Structure 1
Amino acid sequence: MQNKPTTRRQFIADALKLAGATAITGMLPESIARAQAIPAATVTGTIQDVKHVVILMQENRSFDHYLGMLGGARGFGDPRPAVISSGYPVWRQPWMLSYVFPFNPSPPSGTANGDTYYGDLPHDWGTTHSAWNNGRYDNWTAAKTSGTMYYFTQNDIPFYYALASAFTVCDAYHCSMLGPTDPNRLYLWTGCCGNVTGYSPYTNNTMTGTGWTTMPERLNTAGVTWKFYQDKGNGLDAGHGYGEYNGSKSDLWWNGNYGDNVILNFRQYQNLGASDPLAPALNGTQIDPSGGGKEYDTNLFSQLRADVANGTLPQVSWIAAPYAYCEHPSWAASGGEWYVSNVLNALTSNPAVWASTVLLVMYDENDGLFDHVPPAVPASSAAGTGQSTVSTAAEFVSGNGAASDGSASGDVPIGLGPRVPMFVISPWSKGGKVNSQVFDHTSVIRFLEARFGLQETNITPWRRTVCGDLTSAFDFSNADQAVPAIQPPASNMNPNGPAVLIPYPTTTAVPAQAAGRSTACRLPYEFFVQGKVNRAGRALALTMTNTGTAGVHLQAWVDGTSTIPRHYTIAAGSGPCANLSDSLALNSGGGYDYSVYGPNGFLQTFRGSIGSSGNTGSTAEISLCYDVANGNVQITLDNSAGSSATTFQLTDNAYGMNTRQSFTVAAGATQAVTWYGDGGWYDASIRDANDPNFLRRVAGCVQTQSGTLLTDSAIGNTSKKFVASLASQGSTFGTLRFDYVAPPWSHSPKNWVGIFAHGAQPTKGSYKSWAYLPKSTGSLLFSSTANSTLASGQYDAWYLFDDGYTPLAGPVTITI
């Protein structure tokens, strides 16, 4: 029996009811609830219990655009975002002579954002690399227009938020290329974009002469059954565009496959007979051979429903949606929700089948839509770009369009691209979890490798090192058995809705991400970054060690500058490939300020100065050790190079698990300190009481060996512990020093400390003296930059926001 589509007005009402019901009562759409309620068919308690993998790749949405407001995920409330060349966090993007923040648009009257046909944005190889800007990540609006910054909320896409609350969402899943649809889809089906022997990388949507080995051929060799589920439109041959629409409303909007089955372009898939081993690529419904089709025809799912009912679902299935439901702007998001809901309905219609099935729903690329997490890319061989302990062969495109290893000038990295949503839906991934391991489209192939014992040789060594195989998103030994309440599903978008221009942005602050922590998947990461100043060589020596079971990619930024970040790839293991070192130059004055970013919220900052002579500044260093039993870290305070005692000052930036502490360490000595984590999460600043230039910041998550892990409580400041703070020391104008912290949603390079009369409020022009506090975390010797001196007396110091008079912290009473 077919469900009758609701009216647009009714859909909006249902969507809003669904959003509220899911948040307040835990009620879920029927398709999600049924999928959650069916227990896993556990036989071995391993990946071998998976009998069916179903893969649905949708179109053109970024992670932040869809899920940046999802509680627990690393979205707009990220406590440790990159700081771009302007000195502001990455989500405050430059725009002409101003800036733009992410914004939630106001839809036309009487409509909802999820129903609205917002137009698409530039999403080609050139503009996406331009937005990336050699890793600086500060050119989004120039490359993509200000519309790049719009996003949706739970009210806009309630079905997807309900899906995330019921199963597992991956918040570090990236598209494979800084480029458009078809090359990214090639990674899903072949592990590459043509960057293999005998071919050249495809960087646009024009494919001719393709013929390298594809995943279906690997499955045939391994004896694994597979099939495509799609609609044939008016034909799946070249003459009919392989199922793609041709531009008129009556031609393949509501049927066909939008040309998203890209392997049909390969020569080995041409002129297939019914008994050919590759013929399952041509499987599909044909609800209207003339190409017309009708809106919301559930016959699109008839073959899938029949195979599920008959127990003939193959071991691997790929699904390609018609244009209207693939979510490519300007089609509405709610059309995709309708389509995914129907796929889930079909798969769960036979509980015995669903009990051993995995459904993976991801997006091929980000359109032109902003995401705030700079992706991993390989380092080229040029000096100052970073290093890799594994080969970067075939991960670049040369000036003549060939695959290269980054050794020649002008070589451009292929990817990774920006983050896109990924939902892992199965009996082994229930519970509203968040997985933060780095993945891309080749991770789907890696999951098939892990399950079926095959090998895709098209995937490069670098990509295998950086991107995981999705297995960390599952708990095969402990499937959740929860049975939620049932709420009727959202229905569909309005078939007759007009195209709408993305509104002009008006938001002047970063969005406030939803509160709440989620269960976090246990990750295979364990790595260390050690810094030590080489005074003779006038450099910061970095040593990176990977003791985990997965490779890791790190980025070294000079925050707030236009310096191109360095990229480091370190393989897992115990050999030389698990260790890497680099030398980062100090500036002409002997100063340095490097931040190393890594997966799952990892950050280490190294800041200080040895002066132009090289003989001043702190000689202190620190190192970390993880307490994996208790989720704490051991910080070793190292004064082994010092000629006198050093007082280390430690502050808890974000989690409130530790009081401000001071430790005086004798010359030539070290001292180990236990720093308590919040379920493994930590963020500490270590200062030298005698050197305001010195800072070491350490932040991340200890992967404990047992127990339940939770997502970062500092995301969205859900604990209200990550707040701006200001402390002072010194009793003369020459010794007065301020130590400060600002969370990223309060950070500006124009934050400042103002000195006012004791008891006075900070009002315009009433300060006695002032100085900028330009970093998110740091210290300042006030006399070094203050605009005027202070006479003896008592004052109040206020920490103030962005050249204005809005207090971030204070007052701190000081006596000179």
Structure 2
Amino acid sequence: MPGVRGFADPNVQINPDGRTTFQQLLTPKQTKLATQLTPWHINYLGGTWPQATQCLSAGENSWEAMHLALNGGLTNKWAITNTPYSWSYLNRSDIPVHFDIAEGWTVGDMYQEGVLGATSPNRVLWMSGTLNNPGTPNNIDGEGDMILDNHSSPGCERPHLNCFPFTWKTLPEYWQDAGVTWQVYQDADNFEDNPLAYFDQYQRANEDSPLNLHGNSYIGLDQFYEDAANGTLPQISIIIGPAELSEHSPYLPGDGAWLQKQVVEAVVNGPAYHETALIISYDEVGGYGDHVTPFHAPKGTPGEWIDDPYGLVGETPIGPGFRLPFYIISPWTRGGHVFTEHADHNSQILFIEEWLEATGKKNIRSKEMSPWRREHMSNLLYAFDFEHPDYSIPHIAHVDSPLTYGSPNTRPSGRLGSTSSNYIGAAMCQAKHRTSKPPVPYGPQNANANPAKLVEEGFKQVRGSLTEGRYITFEMNGFALTNAGWSAMHVTSTPTSPRHDSVYQRWVAHLVGDAGGDLFVLRSAFDWRYISRSQQLTDFVDMAEVFRIVDLGAGKGYALMPRGVSQDGLTLNGQRKGRMGGGLALGVSREGEIFVTVPKEGFMVFSVTYHS
């Protein structure tokens, strides 16, 4: 996808062996043709492979698999310790609905799984804010029971590990206490993906208890569609799809696309769309790899680092884990944006807390959440521009209904969501195709490939606190910060283009200081020179200006505030400007001019992907 942190990442991690994290290690047992594997299109052979790979199982997603791929932060063993199929990818032609939904509104490209693990712990974190691991508020002394993997039989796997059922307070209980209406929409076939059912208080709830009526009942997805159409949804809706539409291997991405489209269209065509935000997120990576080493807390942070109880990797961060698909559908996120803030499943909790407080529900704060997550994970607010809603609806590609038993041509005629639908897509796929795994393209052509060439060309406007991983432009009043060429001594400004495609206006932000901060140096994508403290262009990073880059919110853009300002003032383009404090920033209003201004309006920032 263009305009996101993907295969064209200019900040890609380079390991001590000189390889980037795009160049995954291989062993001689796997192949004698290469020592590394770069990302490869799963359907590169064409033919019937696009149909066969729909039921592909790419790899594992367990605690063990995630930590082995992470490899102590080198993030270079996806192909060895998982499978080479973990390093394959699907493109727009394979999953057009997913692309259309994500790009029609706002996609988050730094949203991470909550824990380096599988489905259950990630979903438990999503609905309770904790895994109850040692050091978290509910388990300060480590004597409580935590969950790290998909083990849900009564009792404990070992002392204090994966003890079922769970007993701490969940988010819906906070909502219920505050008089907030909520409902889990699920069918009897829910893939055991409703984490509330794992908690003792829900299992013991009587028939008339809100925990049972709203959390453990099976009112069906058809009821969600009906409530959305009638404008009678509760304040908070939680949607749990059936196994066959989950996209979990061997279930088909195409069937998952059908479910996503049904839910999106029910929301955007309903009478309450003007006051609704729909968040679609995946729980874990599903066996697919990621080149970005997860953003996590410093070693020793209470509630974030534990001694691996499986004895696999010693002291380790519990999460956040690798990045996941994540997008927000609403009138305030419409328009093809990319949200770049560090986020994980806790971010959805934090957003709901902020939203409820804005509606007058005070102090609804999960006491179970790790303090580090509360401080460092995004609350998603800057993904939204609440002052400029856009109610238009983008085109979403057609997708066939899932295959079922007993209907004409084995296809259903309408919305289906219950076990009576008898979805058979995965079974038909496996029966029709001898294998879902094409030969891995080992060899020099893949090993020496440039992953950046795999990305579509295009752009997305950035929202949220800036993070590394993209080429960006800074634009204001029809002009952009520009490196005018080899002979240029200073950064200048030139007119923007509709496609934001000038290499002279393209910059790479390099983080300065601690991970998660907002201080960056800016480097030109044209000749790799830095913007210096005097706004000259320099080859030397120690002469580079350090900018604090801040999203002003509400569509106002980004303030670009130089940090290294002397008491004598700031020199721009050779001209002395007035004394500058921390609240001033760069601005442009005409070609060739850069000035210092109070940052009431900032630069529009675009994440761009072009092959030039």
TM (norm. structure 2) is 0.68
- 1:94-133 matched pairs, under 5 angstroms: 94-97=25-28, 98-106=35-43, 109-110=47-48, 112=50, 116-133=54-71
CA distance in structure 1 between the partners assigned to 2:25 and 2:185 by the alignment: 43
Equivalent residue number for residue 317 of structure 2: 413
Equivalent residue number for residue 60 of structure 1: none
CA distance in structure 1 between the partners assigned to 2:12 and 2:39 by the alignment: 14
Determine which of 90, 113, 122 is the counterpart of 2:21.
Answer: 90
| Superposition deviation, residue 225 in structure 1 | 0.7
Q: Point out the more displaced range, 210-219 or 301-310.
A: 301-310
| Superposition deviation, residue 619 in structure 1 | 12
Identity between Structure 1 and Structure 2 (%) = 27
Does the C-alpha gap of structure 1 residues 114 and 77 become closer, same or farther in structure 2, counting only changes over 3 Å? farther
Letter in 2 for 1:395: E
Q: Could you list the per-position Cα deviations for residues 76-123 of structure 1 after superposition, in whole angstroms to 9, with x for gaps in the alignment? A: 111221112321221011111511011111277435259620014121
CA distance in structure 1 between the partners assigned to 2:542 and 2:231 by the alignment: 66
Instruction: Output the aligned Cα RMSD.
Output: 3.8
Q: Secondary structure at the match of 1:78?
A: coil
CA distance in structure 1 between the partners assigned to 2:549 and 2:132 by the alignment: 44
Equivalent residue number for residue 343 of structure 1: 263
Does the C-alpha gap of structure 1 residues 133 and 488 become closer, same or farther in structure 2, counting only changes over 3 Å? closer
Q: Given that residues 58 and 86 in structure 2 are in contact (C-alpha distance below 8 angstroms), is that contact kept between their aligned partners in structure 1?
A: no
Q: Given that residues 230 and 319 in structure 1 are in contact (C-alpha distance below 8 angstroms), is that contact kept between their aligned partners in structure 2?
A: yes
Letter in 1 for 2:604: L
Matched, 1:200 2:119: no
Q: Given that residues 114 and 157 in structure 1 are in contact (C-alpha distance below 8 angstroms), is that contact kept between their aligned partners in structure 2?
A: no
Determine which of 235, 244, 259 is the counterpart of 1:324.
Answer: 244
Q: Given that residues 169 and 423 in structure 1 are in contact (C-alpha distance below 8 angstroms), is that contact kept between their aligned partners in structure 2?
A: yes
CA distance in structure 2 between the partners assigned to 1:318 and 1:178 by the alignment: 23
Determine which of 109, 116, 125 is the counterpart of 1:171.
Answer: 109
CA distance in structure 2 between the partners assigned to 1:302 and 1:490 by the alignment: 18
Equivalent residue number for residue 276 of structure 1: 209
Matched, 1:464 2:374: yes
Matched, 1:706 2:610: no
Q: Given that residues 305 and 349 in structure 1 are in contact (C-alpha distance below 8 angstroms), is that contact kept between their aligned partners in structure 2?
A: no
Does the C-alpha gap of structure 1 residues 284 and 631 become closer, same or farther in structure 2, counting only changes over 3 Å? same
Q: Secondary structure at the match of 2:459?
A: coil
Does the C-alpha gap of structure 1 residues 145 and 282 become closer, same or farther in structure 2, counting only changes over 3 Å? same
Determine which of 69, 73, 88 is the counterpart of 1:135.
Answer: 73
CA distance in structure 2 between the partners assigned to 1:522 and 1:356 by the alignment: 21
Matched, 1:187 2:132: no
Equivalent residue number for residue 360 of structure 1: 279
Q: Secondary structure at the match of 1:85?
A: coil
Q: Given that residues 115 and 333 in structure 1 are in contact (C-alpha distance below 8 angstroms), is that contact kept between their aligned partners in structure 2?
A: no
Does the C-alpha gap of structure 1 residues 349 and 399 become closer, same or farther in structure 2, counting only changes over 3 Å? closer
Q: Secondary structure at the match of 1:443?
A: helix
Equivalent residue number for residue 398 of structure 1: 307
Equivalent residue number for residue 502 of structure 2: none
Letter in 2 for 1:220: Q
- 1:458-537 matched pairs, under 5 angstroms: 458-482=368-392, 484=394, 488-492=398-402, 494=425, 496-498=428-430, 500-506=435-441, 507-508=446-447, 509=449, 510=451, 511-523=453-465
| Superposition deviation, residue 356 in structure 1 | 1.2
CA distance in structure 1 between the partners assigned to 2:436 and 2:93 by the alignment: 20
Does the C-alpha gap of structure 1 residues 188 and 484 become closer, same or farther in structure 2, counting only changes over 3 Å? closer
| Superposition deviation, residue 217 in structure 1 | 0.4
Letter in 2 for 1:284: Y
Matched, 1:449 2:353: yes
| Superposition deviation, residue 484 in structure 1 | 4.9
Q: Given that residues 159 and 490 in structure 1 are in contact (C-alpha distance below 8 angstroms), is that contact kept between their aligned partners in structure 2?
A: no
Equivalent residue number for residue 624 of structure 1: 546
Does the C-alpha gap of structure 1 residues 311 and 129 become closer, same or farther in structure 2, counting only changes over 3 Å? same
Count the aligned residue pairs.
466
Q: Could you list the per-position Cα deviations for residues 540-593 of structure 1 after superposition, in whole angstroms to 9, with x for gaps in the alignment? A: xxxxxxxxxxxxxx999xxxxxxxxxx946789xxxxxx9xxxxxxxxxxxxxx
Q: Secondary structure at the match of 2:76?
A: coil
Structure 1: where are the runs of 5+ without partners? 1-69, 233-255, 286-299, 382-391, 403-408, 527-553, 557-566, 573-578, 580-595, 607-617, 639-657, 664-674, 680-702, 721-816
Determine which of 292, 303, 310 is the counterpart of 2:223.
Answer: 303
Letter in 1 for 2:355: R
Q: Could you list the per-position Cα deviations for residues 649-687 of structure 1 after superposition, in whole angstroms to 9, with x for gaps in the alignment? A: xxxxxxxxx9xx9x9xxxxxxxxxxx99999xxxxxxxx
| Superposition deviation, residue 124 in structure 1 | 1.0
Q: Given that residues 620 and 637 in structure 1 are in contact (C-alpha distance below 8 angstroms), is that contact kept between their aligned partners in structure 2?
A: no
CA distance in structure 2 between the partners assigned to 1:488 and 1:127 by the alignment: 35
Q: Given that residues 176 and 416 in structure 1 are in contact (C-alpha distance below 8 angstroms), is that contact kept between their aligned partners in structure 2?
A: yes
Determine which of 138, 161, 166 is the counterpart of 1:210.
Answer: 166
Q: Could you list the per-position Cα deviations for residues 678-725 of structure 1 after superposition, in whole angstroms to 9, with x for gaps in the alignment? A: 99xxxxxxxxxxxxxxxxxxxxxxx97536724333x3x35x2xxxxx
Letter in 2 for 1:274: E
CA distance in structure 2 between the partners assigned to 1:622 and 1:79 by the alignment: 18
Larger Rg: 1
Matched, 1:147 2:81: no
Q: Given that residues 8 and 455 in structure 2 are in contact (C-alpha distance below 8 angstroms), is that contact kept between their aligned partners in structure 1?
A: yes
Q: Secondary structure at the match of 1:133?
A: helix
Q: Given that residues 227 and 316 in structure 1 are in contact (C-alpha distance below 8 angstroms), is that contact kept between their aligned partners in structure 2?
A: yes
Does the C-alpha gap of structure 1 residues 321 and 301 become closer, same or farther in structure 2, counting only changes over 3 Å? same
CA distance in structure 2 between the partners assigned to 1:630 and 1:214 by the alignment: 37
Q: Point out the more displaced range, 268-277 or 173-182.
A: 268-277
CA distance in structure 2 between the partners assigned to 1:620 and 1:524 by the alignment: 22
Q: Secondary structure at the match of 1:153?
A: coil
CA distance in structure 2 between the partners assigned to 1:211 and 1:146 by the alignment: 39
Does the C-alpha gap of structure 1 residues 678 and 399 become closer, same or farther in structure 2, counting only changes over 3 Å? farther
CA distance in structure 1 between the partners assigned to 2:521 and 2:375 by the alignment: 17
Q: Given that residues 327 and 336 in structure 1 are in contact (C-alpha distance below 8 angstroms), is that contact kept between their aligned partners in structure 2?
A: yes
Q: Secondary structure at the match of 2:12?
A: coil
CA distance in structure 2 between the partners assigned to 1:620 and 1:281 by the alignment: 56
CA distance in structure 2 between the partners assigned to 1:174 and 1:125 by the alignment: 15
Q: Given that residues 339 and 383 in structure 2 are in contact (C-alpha distance below 8 angstroms), is that contact kept between their aligned partners in structure 1?
A: yes
Structure with higher RCO (Cα < 8 A, 6+ apart): 2
Structure 2: where are the runs of 5+ without partners? 29-34, 153-163, 358-363, 404-424, 469-509, 531-539, 551-556, 567-571, 575-584, 590-597
CA distance in structure 2 between the partners assigned to 1:227 and 1:366 by the alignment: 26
Q: Secondary structure at the match of 1:517?
A: strand
CA distance in structure 2 between the partners assigned to 1:312 and 1:327 by the alignment: 29
| Superposition deviation, residue 310 in structure 1 | 3.6
Does the C-alpha gap of structure 1 residues 399 and 88 become closer, same or farther in structure 2, counting only changes over 3 Å? closer
TM (norm. structure 1) is 0.52
Whichever structure has more helix as a proportion of its residues is 2
Q: Could you list the per-position Cα deviations for residues 197-248 of structure 1 after superposition, in whole angstroms to 9, with x for gaps in the alignment? A: 262331111131311000110101111111111102xxxxxxxxxxxxxxxx
Equivalent residue number for residue 739 of structure 1: none
Does the C-alpha gap of structure 1 residues 472 and 79 become closer, same or farther in structure 2, counting only changes over 3 Å? same
Equivalent residue number for residue 380 of structure 1: 299
Q: Given that residues 132 and 147 in structure 2 are in contact (C-alpha distance below 8 angstroms), is that contact kept between their aligned partners in structure 1?
A: yes
| Superposition deviation, residue 492 in structure 1 | 3.9
Q: Secondary structure at the match of 1:278?
A: helix
Q: Given that residues 285 and 324 in structure 2 are in contact (C-alpha distance below 8 angstroms), is that contact kept between their aligned partners in structure 1?
A: yes
Q: Given that residues 38 and 87 in structure 2 are in contact (C-alpha distance below 8 angstroms), is that contact kept between their aligned partners in structure 1?
A: yes
Q: Given that residues 227 and 283 in structure 1 are in contact (C-alpha distance below 8 angstroms), is that contact kept between their aligned partners in structure 2?
A: no
Q: Secondary structure at the match of 1:451?
A: helix
| Superposition deviation, residue 620 in structure 1 | 6.4
Whichever structure has more strand as a proportion of its residues is 1
